[in-house]
Amino acid sequence: MNQSKADLHFHTWHSVDSFISPKDAVKMAVKKNIQILAITDHDTVEGAKVAKAYAEKHNLPVEIIIGEEIYTNGGHVIGLFLQERVPSFQSLEDTLVQIKAQNGLVVIPHLMFEEDALGEYIYRYQVCYLDLYHRPDLLAKVDAIEVENFILIEPQYFEKTHYVNEKFLQKAEVSSSDCHIKMNFGHTYSLFDGNTADDLRKAILERKTTPLCTKKKNLIHQILGFGPLVKLPIHLTLQFTYRIIEGTYLKTKNTIRRYFPSKQQKPI
């Protein structure tokens, strides 16, 4: 059976931190011979819908999967094969449940990315594999682990992530570009038997995907592709604002309950 290429982590300018239009994303996939492209913008599916409509209208040889990279309180999660947006800043558990409610697949990106203490406290970038390992109910909802990400250049990143997955998680392994600029696309992808998105879904569920990175990564790819000067302030602002709103809401709620208890809460 012939094999095809799939990139399951790609951002258009609907993510704010990307400089690529949905139409250009489709053209890039055709040029690089990527048969399946998942558009996974941050907290929106609008870019993916535009790209999918463009590819289908022009009968181009690439199939677009509607996806989303979702902020959760436990780290980033990618949902694939979605029909609508999954809300941000929910618990990891609620996010996985809502992806599955749409018959979507769950991919955990940049699993072993190392953050400094400040980044971990203010902004949770990656899901901790221990959170999954110690919660079989959550782990059962995960379909794939991103073991290679083109803009992460940490030494032995693939080896660490592959080891953790094989030893503890035992999910399908995928390789993605996490593309935000054109120069980072087409070098990192997953191989699978077949040529359709349905074939890809089957390969993920059967753990038959092969992650590949065909080009050596360097600091330039990370600086330009990861875009810390653009992304980090946005991410920190969103997360910090969310924490303030959440804290204010909980304090207000507890105060109201204390002074205006419901009938069920009134002491006998």
List of residues 6+ apart from 78 with CB closer than 8 A: 8, 9, 38, 40, 67, 68, 69, 70, 106, 107, 108, 109, 146
Residue 43 lies in a domain: yes
Q: Whose structure tokens read 């979702």? A: 70
Distance in angstroms between the alpha carbons of the first and the last residue of the chain: 72
Lowest mean pLDDT among 12-16, 32-36, 78-82, 110-114: 110-114
Contact 86, 99 (CB under 8 A): yes
Closest by Cα among 186, 200, 210 to 36: 200
Lowest mean pLDDT among 98-102, 196-200, 262-266: 262-266
Higher pLDDT, 58 or 124: 58
Neighbouring CB atoms inside 10 A of 248's CB total 10
* CATH number of domain containing 140: 3.20.20.140
Closest by Cα among 106, 103, 84 to 95: 106
**pLDDT, tens digit, for every residue of 55-98?**
999 999 999 999 999 989 888 999 999 999 999 889 999 999 99
Lowest mean pLDDT among 95-104, 140-149, 245-254: 245-254
- Reported residue count of the chain is 268
Higher pLDDT, 158 or 227: 158
Closest by Cα among 135, 115, 133 to 124: 115
pTM value is: 0.82
Q: Which residues pair with 76 in a beta bridge?
A: 71
List of residues 6+ apart from 49 with CB closer than 8 A: 66
Which amino acid, one-letter code, is at 102? Answer: Q
Residue 250 lies in a domain: no
Range of the domain at 106: 3-230
Residue 238 lies in a domain: no
Domain total in the chain: 1
Specify the pLDDT at position 120.
47
Residue 241 lies in a domain: no
Q: Which residues pair with 174 in a beta bridge?
A: 146
Specify the pLDDT at position 267.
43
What does the alpha-carbon distance between residue 52 and residue 266 come to, in Å, rounded to a whole number? 55
Q: Tell me whether strands 210-213 and 36-39 are parallel, antiparallel or unpaired.
A: unpaired
Closest by Cα among 150, 125, 45 to 87: 45
Residue 157 lies in a domain: yes
**pLDDT, tens digit, for every residue of 202-258?**
999 999 999 999 987 766 656 655 554 455 565 556 655 655 676 677 778 778 878
Contact 85, 48 (CB under 8 A): no
Which amino acid, one-letter code, is at 203? Answer: A
Residue 131 lies in a domain: yes
List of residues 6+ apart from 33 with CB closer than 8 A: 5
Tokens of 112: 């072993």
Tell me the backbone φ, ψ of residue 241, rounded to 5 degrees. -60, -45
Specify the pLDDT at position 225.
58
Residue 252 lies in a domain: no
Report how far Cα 21 is from the mean position of its chain's Cα atoms: 19
Residue 256 lies in a domain: no
